Amino acid sequence: MDVQRAREQLFQKDETFGFIEREEALHAFLSADVPAGQAERAVSALEFILSRLSCPAEPEGIVGRMVEGPVPYEMEPVAGNGFSHVGNPFQPRTRCAGHLTLDLKDLLSKGLSGIVREMEAHAESDAQKQYAAYCRRAVEAVKSFCLRYADSAERAGNTHAAEALRTVPYGPAYDFFSAVQSIWMIEWVLSCVTGGRDFAYGRLDLVLLPYYRKEEDPANYEVLLSFLLKNNEIGGMNSDLLNMQPVPCTGTNIYAMLGGKGAEEALPLSLLILRAAEEVHLMQPVLALRIAKDSPKEWKLAAARVTQNLSGQVSFYNDDAIIPNLLDLGFTEEHALNYTMSGCNRADFPGHMSSDMYDNAPACLLRAFMDPEVTDMDGILRRFREEMEKEAGRKMGCVYTDPETDPRFFFESLFLRGCPERVRDIENGGQDQWTLVHHLCGLATAGNSLAAIEKAVFEDHVLTLPEFRELVKNNFETDPKLHLFIRNRYPKFGNDDPFADHWTRVACEIMVDAVRSLNGTDGSGHIHIPGLYSLWFHHRFGEALGATPDGRLAGEPISENQSPVYGTDREGIAALLHSLGSLPMEKTGCGGLNVRLQSRLPEEMLSAMVDTYFEMGGVNIAVDVVSRETLIDALEHPERHQTLCVRIVGYSEIFVRLPRYMQQELIDRTPLTA
Amino acid sequence: MKGLITRIQRFSTTNGPGLRTTVFMKGCPLRCLWCHNPETQKMKRELLYYEETCTRCGSCAEACPKGVHIFQDGKHVFLRENCVLCGACADVCPVRALELSGEEIEAEELVTRLLRDRAFYEHSGGGITLSGGEPLFQPAFTEEVLRRCKAEGIHTCVDTSGAGVSCDTVARFTREGLADLWLYDLKETDEERHRAATGVPFTPILRNLETIGEAHGKLRLRCPVIPGVNDREEHMEKIGEIAEKVPGVLAIDLVPYHRLGLVKAEALGEQQKTFEALPETRKKALLGRLQEKTDIPSSWI
């Protein structure tokens, strides 16, 4: 397989092109009599679109590709319609828009037909029978499409794909190739046809292991190469915030979890996937590598090698922290052991829908600090806790419609636990809402602010609390010298400084406890999982927030993920990790830490660093290796760095295709040297 | 026992095996033309002033009891000769343009700080490295730090120039197992050139190296290669010959010139000569010449 050529084609493709055949099919579908009712409309649209798509096939490897071309319609994309220019017959949707981990085991062992047969057998009520019939129509449509694709593959000389597609995904997978082909076809239909992004594979090595065992063939490596390349074909190569490709799965981030407890037997396959990912060297899928203290040395070293070679595509998750943390939050042993990650940094479980929300800690702290009734630190902390509890307790809408009166059909329901058993779509309550991940934003800003208040007002008596409030309210304009001093010289989180770390720990306890206190008390039935993660909300929240006591000015971003405020961690990686290790990570279930190394470390050293950090209780760490000088050069000479991948918040992107403010943020991220 | 240090660098990967913490100690008998750490040369505290960082806010002038910081026509004039090194200005500088170099520290306190990263050492086969400056310039302090580290089971390296110290001391350190590994500088192998480049003779350095080898010490040679000073084939050959002759040499590191010392020298009010970087082809040729003389592993770091 010519990986180099495939990569070049991806980098050269026109990012203004949409899935033209889908658009045309949608146009034709919506121009005729459109059935009323979401379920009937969605199934009919799926049937119609699949019948109209052509089947471009490569001569080798797995197949499944969208024809792309300029979208002829003059109009702008229809808002909220996943970049269709003509409308979206799959609407309305309240919950299903991707961002979940598919349960692929049943797909591979039973095939679509097996899943639907069970639904038909379980269906009792009219609504269930009707739903089973919708599912039957959908899988038959997929089957017909795959048979056409098989013929096309045959014509292209790809007998392997032709043979596979005559069986899967309709029937069970029978070897490694067919298993991978089956998974891709489902990912592809969900992402490109019905339209959604971030459908994660879960523990990919374990999912594929039975088929890998059947046939340990050197050709498996080539299959993986073609599969990994395909993951990069569909969502566009541009940043999901700039020049997004006008396709329904634009900017998709497809997470694959590898290794960890329970995957020991899959080690050869896990390593093979890593090797293939290194050769493909693109952004998708995002690799989440589970590491336990007793993981094989070979796995740890390979992980350390790959994370530096792929620079940003990889992150490590600590089994020894996350599994007990999830058990403590109330998950079963089976779930905790099989945790996975989807959509950036969400603790997830195959086949379960979860939701997430972003909680703004610095805004809560600022409200507490500004309360004129408060006169001491205890008062500030009490008010901060109240504000955090309010913030975390915001209600998340979760509306199921009645299957009798408003039946729904979403293709992904076939891969979600509960829906096949209940014979009910996810939007009709096929699965109970189960987990809600709270991404707690701005930890370091909050911690540094508490430290600054304590030091300035209560320890050094530089100014009184009302004076400090006034100074913060006027954006530090009345005392620029004190502002500089607070900003640059006051203790800051991330330096193994006991004072700053203490106050950051205090902030962190309040933040995570506000989330955990909802468990079993808010009447939602959800398990609320706290995690320290910000995605891009550190910008959004920062823009709307006034100055904070740590010296951050109004409008500046709050701190990102678990990171210190950029530029304030001056003592290097060991100090940074000690600071993080002092946080109550055992109360969290996920979260992200990005560190950027100025230059490569030997694999043994990086692995030792991760082991040490995880022993301290760290939950996650992602390392990318790119020097500040390289980033600055890429900013000035983008033509020289067309393929430079960098870690952003929870995944990687091509540096030169990011908006300028993000590029600057990455340059500002403290480079760590060793 | 107190010692004088400039800084503690945690998570260092180039000063011995594994992940290490390196202590840079103050005081050095050498005056190398290219010195990478000029703030470590003198055995006393010093104030570094980074002019480019200064915002001319005037905080230092307000704090200074001796009036050594003067602001004239928007310029910050630092009267170094009148400075009593109290550090009041560095404490209040909001942008760290002023930095007091030289911290007096008890050996026990230093070791407590070093033990903070014990887990990193244990996971990586690392430990601590005493560097500088010249750690053997403060022999009693260095000895106490090393003894305490050994008592804690921590791997120790001493990064030394081998100058200004007696054979007896290095022999004793080696025999008593205080230094698990010596990072031993070979800056120049020609006697006259050595004096010209560093200000001290080479012969005693060579003798100390041999003493360590004979006492069954483990050695890693560290050879800064400075264009126009010692980037000669015959120097490389000589390094190879010495490495072959002295027992216990495990590896040879060629250390490229870098300019970080320039900024610090300027901040100390000193002038340092600048050198160009060696082209990659030249680096390769010099390493090749060294490797012709010895099979001991060698590389550029």
Of the given ranges (A33-47, A180-194, A624-638, B8-22), which has the lowest mean pLDDT? A624-638
CATH number where A442 lies: 3.20.70.20
Residues of chain A in contact with residue B57, where contact means CB-CB under 8 angstroms, are 480-481, 484
- Report yes or no: A608 at the B interface, CB cutoff 8 Å: yes
Suggest the residue from A482, A484, A490 to mutate for an interface test with chain B (most B CBs closer than 10 A). Answer: A484
Nearest by Cα to A342 from A261, A254, A426: A254
CA distances from A578 to A240, A495, A600, B117 (A): 33, 8, 21, 9
Q: Which residues of chain B have pLDDT under 70?
A: none
- Is residue A672's pLDDT more than 80? no
Suggest the residue from B50, B55, B96, B123 to mutate for an interface test with chain A (most A CBs closer than 10 A). Answer: B123
- Is residue A299's pLDDT more than 60? yes
Q: How far apart are CA A490 and CA A568, in angstroms?
A: 10
Residue B271 CB neighbours (<10 A): 9
By C-alpha distance, the chain A residue nearest B121 is A608
pLDDT band at residue A292 using 50, 70 and 90 as cut-offs? very high
From A82's Cα to the closest Cα of chain B, the distance in A is: 47
Question: Which pair of tokens denotes residue A8?
Answer: 């070049």
CATH 3.90.79.10 fits B2-43+102-300, yes or no: no
Q: How far apart are CA A27 and CA A46, in angstroms?
A: 13
By C-alpha distance, the chain A residue nearest B15 is A674
Nearest by Cα to B186 from B227, B230, B228: B230
**How many domains does chain A divide into?**
1
From B118's Cα to the closest Cα of chain A, the distance in A is: 10
Q: What value does the mean pLDDT take over residues A531-555?
A: 96
Residue A38 confidence (pLDDT): 94
From A470's Cα to the closest Cα of chain B, the distance in A is: 21
pLDDT band at residue A648 using 50, 70 and 90 as cut-offs? confident
By C-alpha distance, the chain B residue nearest A599 is B13
SS3 call for A6: helix
Residue A653 confidence (pLDDT): 85
* Placement of tokens 């033990």 in the chain: B115
Extract the runs of DSSP E, i.e. beta strands, from A490-578. 527-532
User: Is A608's CB within 8 Å of B13's CB?
Assistant: no
Q: How far apart are CA A375 and CA A384, in angstroms?
A: 13
Q: How far apart are CA B20 and CA B122, in angstroms?
A: 10
Q: Torsion-angle region of residue B79: left (phi > 0), alpha (psi -120 to 50) or beta?
A: beta
Name the residue range of residue A397's domain.
356-401+438-672
Residue A525 confidence (pLDDT): 83
Most confident of A73-77, A178-182, A623-627: A178-182
Q: How far apart are CA A401 and CA A461, in angstroms?
A: 59
- Is residue A76's pLDDT more than 80? no
Percent of chain A with pLDDT over 90: 77
Answer for the pair A513, A586: CB distance below 8 angstroms, yes or no: no
Question: Which pair of tokens denotes residue A177?
Answer: 């190739």
User: Is B124's CB within 8 Å of A572's CB?
Assistant: no
pLDDT band at residue A77 using 50, 70 and 90 as cut-offs? low
Question: Which pair of tokens denotes residue A293?
Answer: 């203290």
SS3 call for A544: coil
- Report yes or no: A660 at the B interface, CB cutoff 8 Å: no
Furthest C-alpha separation in chain B:
63
Q: Torsion-angle region of residue A624: left (phi > 0), alpha (psi -120 to 50) or beta?
A: beta
pLDDT band at residue A646 using 50, 70 and 90 as cut-offs? confident
User: Is A609's CB within 8 Å of B11's CB?
Assistant: yes
- Is residue A96's pLDDT more than 70? no
Q: How far apart are CA A376 and CA A359, in angstroms?
A: 25
More confident residue, A345 or A336: A336
Q: How far apart are CA A153 and CA A172, in angstroms?
A: 20
Residue A94 confidence (pLDDT): 63
The amino acid occupying position B205 is I
- Is residue A514's pLDDT more than 90? yes
The amino acid occupying position A180 is V
From A616's Cα to the closest Cα of chain B, the distance in A is: 9
By C-alpha distance, the chain B residue nearest A611 is B123
- Report yes or no: A604 at the B interface, CB cutoff 8 Å: yes
pLDDT band at residue A241 using 50, 70 and 90 as cut-offs? confident
User: Is A573's CB within 8 Å of B11's CB?
Assistant: yes
Residue B44 confidence (pLDDT): 96
The amino acid occupying position A498 is P
List Cβ neighbours of A440 (8 Å cut-off, separation of 6 or more): A359, A361, A511, A512, A515, A530, A531, A532, A533, A591
Residues of chain B in contact with residue A487, where contact means CB-CB under 8 angstroms, are 94
CATH 3.30.70.20 fits B46-101, yes or no: yes
Instruction: Select from B94, B120, B123 the Cβ nearest to the Cβ of A481.
Output: B94
List Cβ neighbours of A145 (8 Å cut-off, separation of 6 or more): A50, A51, A53, A55
- Report yes or no: A602 at the B interface, CB cutoff 8 Å: yes
Q: Exposed, middle or buried: residue B64 (CB in 10 Å: 0-12, 13-18, 19+)?
A: buried
- The number of C-beta contacts closer than 8 angstroms across A and B is 70
By C-alpha distance, the chain A residue nearest B60 is A481
- Report yes or no: B117 at the A interface, CB cutoff 8 Å: yes
- Is residue A557's pLDDT more than 60? yes
From B219's Cα to the closest Cα of chain A, the distance in A is: 21
Nearest by Cα to A441 from A344, A572, A300: A344
Do the interacting molecules here have an ipTM over 0.85? yes
Q: pLDDT by residue (tens digit) across A456-482? A: 999 999 999 999 999 999 999 999 999
pLDDT band at residue A398 using 50, 70 and 90 as cut-offs? low
Q: What value does the mean pLDDT take over residues A573-597?
A: 93
List Cβ neighbours of B263 (8 Å cut-off, separation of 6 or more): B50
CA distances from B168 to A28, A141, A244, B146 (A): 94, 88, 71, 17
- On whether residue A576 sits in a domain, the answer given is yes
Q: How far apart are CA A536 and CA A594, in angstroms?
A: 13
Suggest the residue from B8, B15, B19, B113 to mutate for an interface test with chain A (most A CBs closer than 10 A). Answer: B19
- Is residue A1's pLDDT more than 90? no
Answer for the pair A660, A291: CB distance below 8 angstroms, yes or no: no
Q: How far apart are CA A622 and CA B178, in angstroms?
A: 38
Q: How far apart are CA B146 and CA B242, in angstroms?
A: 27
Answer for the pair A130, A407: CB distance below 8 angstroms, yes or no: yes
User: Is A484's CB within 8 Å of B57's CB?
Assistant: yes
Q: pLDDT by residue (tens digit) across B105-156? A: 999 999 999 999 999 999 999 999 999 999 999 999 999 999 999 999 999 9
Q: Torsion-angle region of residue A464: left (phi > 0), alpha (psi -120 to 50) or beta?
A: beta
By C-alpha distance, the chain A residue nearest B118 is A612
SS3 call for A408: coil
Nearest by Cα to A539 from A671, A650, A665, A454: A665
* Placement of tokens 């010298």 in the chain: A481
Q: pLDDT by residue (tens digit) across A413-449? A: 999 999 999 999 999 999 877 789 999 999 999 999 9
* Placement of tokens 């590898």 in the chain: A258
SS3 call for A662: helix
- Is residue A181's pLDDT more than 80? yes
- Report yes or no: B230 at the A interface, CB cutoff 8 Å: no
- Report yes or no: B12 at the A interface, CB cutoff 8 Å: yes
Residues of chain B in contact with residue A612, where contact means CB-CB under 8 angstroms, are 19, 119-120, 123-124
- Is residue A224's pLDDT more than 60? yes
Residue A353 confidence (pLDDT): 85
Q: How far apart are CA A377 and CA A368, in angstroms?
A: 10
DSSP A279-290: HH-SS-SEEEEE
User: Residues spanned by CATH 3.30.70.20 within chain B?
Assistant: 46-101
User: Is A574's CB within 8 Å of B59's CB?
Assistant: no
- Report yes or no: A297 at the B interface, CB cutoff 8 Å: no
Instruction: Select from B12, B19, B55 the Cβ nearest to the Cβ of A609.
Output: B19
Residues of chain A in contact with residue B93, where contact means CB-CB under 8 angstroms, are 489
Question: Which pair of tokens denotes residue A328?
Answer: 């403590």
CA distances from A298 to A220, A607, B120, B123 (A): 20, 10, 19, 15
Residues of chain A in contact with residue B119, where contact means CB-CB under 8 angstroms, are 612, 615-616
Answer for the pair A302, A274: CB distance below 8 angstroms, yes or no: yes
User: Residues spanned by CATH 3.20.20.70 within chain B?
Assistant: 2-43+102-300
User: Is B19's CB within 8 Å of A616's CB?
Assistant: no
- Is residue A640's pLDDT more than 90? no
- On whether residue A180 sits in a domain, the answer given is no
Q: What is the dihedral of CA B174, B175, B178, B183, to 10 degrees?
A: 10
Suggest the residue from B8, B10, B92 to mutate for an interface test with chain A (most A CBs closer than 10 A). Answer: B10
Residues of chain A in contact with residue B117, where contact means CB-CB under 8 angstroms, are 574
- Report yes or no: B260 at the A interface, CB cutoff 8 Å: no
Write out the H or E segment, with its range, that includes residue A257.
strand A255-258
For residue A202, the cross-strand partners are A256
User: Is A609's CB within 8 Å of B21's CB?
Assistant: no
Q: Exposed, middle or buried: residue A26 (CB in 10 Å: 0-12, 13-18, 19+)?
A: buried
- Report yes or no: A15 at the B interface, CB cutoff 8 Å: no
Q: Where are the alpha helices (DSSP H) in B138-221?
A: 139-151, 167-175, 191-198, 203-214
- Report yes or no: A462 at the B interface, CB cutoff 8 Å: no
Answer for the pair B27, B133: CB distance below 8 angstroms, yes or no: yes
Residues of chain A in contact with residue B126, where contact means CB-CB under 8 angstroms, are 608
Suggest the residue from B11, B93, B95, B96 to mutate for an interface test with chain A (most A CBs closer than 10 A). Answer: B11
Suggest the residue from A609, A616, A670 to mutate for an interface test with chain B (most B CBs closer than 10 A). Answer: A609
